[in-house]
Structure 1
């Protein structure tokens, strides 16, 4: 009999093979990359979406303004990221391309949910093909469809969930605890910003930038 660790070795390396207990280890490792990232969060208000990120640096010599974790995708859509920065940039660029394709093809802005689904479709493809690896980044995508405010979270597996308020990164549990306790459906934009900063403060134990 081989030790369990050796038995699982093949499933650990292969992206397209399920382990006997139904797991894709490479997808789980990608999720770990997100969990190790700094905290990003988003929440809906009556007037729009609030996106807030922790931009702490590993060294005081790093210019904080050079660290991008919030991106404009289109005039009506933004995104916050956590995890591997280079992977996030690739996803953001794809999102911008999809948004422009929709404008050129249909002469109208893309729906927030439609864009989030396209990004998740791309993520999912990278969990089932050989020679690639899952994206080690999660995105919070928020925006407005006319007067309708939308907020989505994308997972490295390609899963897509719509939220009223959500967080990703290392401080997700603390931030979500604040949202669970204090978020209201009719929250104003000003109060949403204040709540977002309070949640980030709790998530980072006061070490925010």
Structure 2
């Protein structure tokens, strides 16, 4: 990299002459070394999934969670440096609680993404800190119902809280990905970590922006995509962790929860079968190619 020996990568607060912040670019490299994380936004909810590489046989299965609940309706998954991710989650919970204290309602997903994007961006400005070594995927389901305001007395205006137009549809599923620079976008499908390219290619094949897929289909697709993305690190064992969020009339009743064990195991079984079928098809194609060459 051109920065070596120039000194432009020694301090977080310095731009190189061509307008780059090398410390942020190094943080992105740290993310690319982490396990793959994905998020899928479908018509009736959001699914988050992460590939947890098993670094020791002594680790307890099911412990060391990498998907965290920020508020009842919000979840976060991240790739990169795990301690940085845990601090990100703690700060996100603080922001969520601060919003409830001020506005007496749950924080909308977009506002949490905005606040956390600003927080990460602040860590690219000062010499005394370094950028976060994570990319985080934030998923949430903003309630479509008229929720009671925390501590409310009386019924409020007849047209709804704050004059909300009851003839329009409010809320719904949302998915954001926040990068080490503080940049964030809204997505239908997002992937980060080591297997992001393979995962992104698979996500692009799904119909997420049109009629979309159901939440249960999204769970099965998420498992398959993590298994496909893991193909590059076949020699390493991994554990799949998944969570989902639906609307008030869906399976999670508007809350961020772990995917039930039975559904997760079924999704993993189908994912392993799909990957095995794909491998056997590739082997057959390779043999046919060899015969044609002969």
1:43-82 correspondence runs (5 A):
43-82=40-79
**CA offsets per residue over residues 9-61 of structure 1, 9 Å max, x none?**
x1011111111121111001111111000011100122211001112211212
| Partner residue in 2 for 1:85 | 82
Q: Name the structure 1 match of 2:191.
A: 167
Q: Any stretches of 5+ residues in structure 1 without a counterpart?
A: none
- Match for 1:113 among 110, 113, 137? 110
Q: Deviations over 1:44-97 (max 9, x none)?
A: 122211001112211212223332210000011001011111111111001001
Residue 100 of structure 1 deviates from its aligned partner by: 0.8
**Residues in 1 aligned to 2:4 and 2:97: alpha-carbon distance in whole angstroms:** 47
Q: TM-score, normalised by structure 1?
A: 0.93
Structure 1 residue 198 and structure 2 residue 198: aligned?
A: no
Alignment check: 8 A CA contact 1:72 1:79 kept: yes
Which residue of structure 1 aligns with residue 22 of structure 2? 25
CA deviation vs aligned residue, 1:138-162 (integer Å, no higher than 9, x gap) = 1100001124110000000000111
Q: Residues 23 and 45 (structure 1 numbering): CA distance in 2 closer, same or farther, change over 3 Å?
A: same
Count of residues in Structure 1 that have an aligned counterpart in Structure 2: 205
- TM-score, normalising length from structure 2? 0.67
When Rg is computed on C-alpha atoms for both structures, the one with the higher figure is 2
Q: What is aligned with 1:37?
A: 34
Q: Distance in 2 between matches of 1:95 and 1:76?
A: 13
Establish whether residue 124 from structure 1 lines up as the match of residue 121 from structure 2.
Answer: yes
**Alignment partner of 2:19: what SS?**
coil
Instruction: For 1:14 and 1:107, locate their aligned partners in 2 and report how far apart those are by CA, in whole Å.
Output: 41
Q: 2: distance between equivalents of 1:199 and 1:113?
A: 26
Deviations 1:149-177 (A, max 9, x none): 10000000000111000111000000011
Structure 1 Cα separation of the partners of residues 3 and 214 of structure 2: 53
Structure 2 residue 101 is the aligned partner of structure 1 residue 104: yes
How many angstroms apart in 2 are the aligned matches of 1:177 and 1:4? 31
Which residues of structure 2 form unaligned runs of 5+?
145-171, 240-294
Could you tell me which of 88, 95, 106 is aligned with 2:92? 95
Q: Deviations over 1:89-123 (max 9, x none)?
A: 11100100110111111110101010011111010
Identify which range, 149-158 or 10-19, moves more after superposition: 10-19
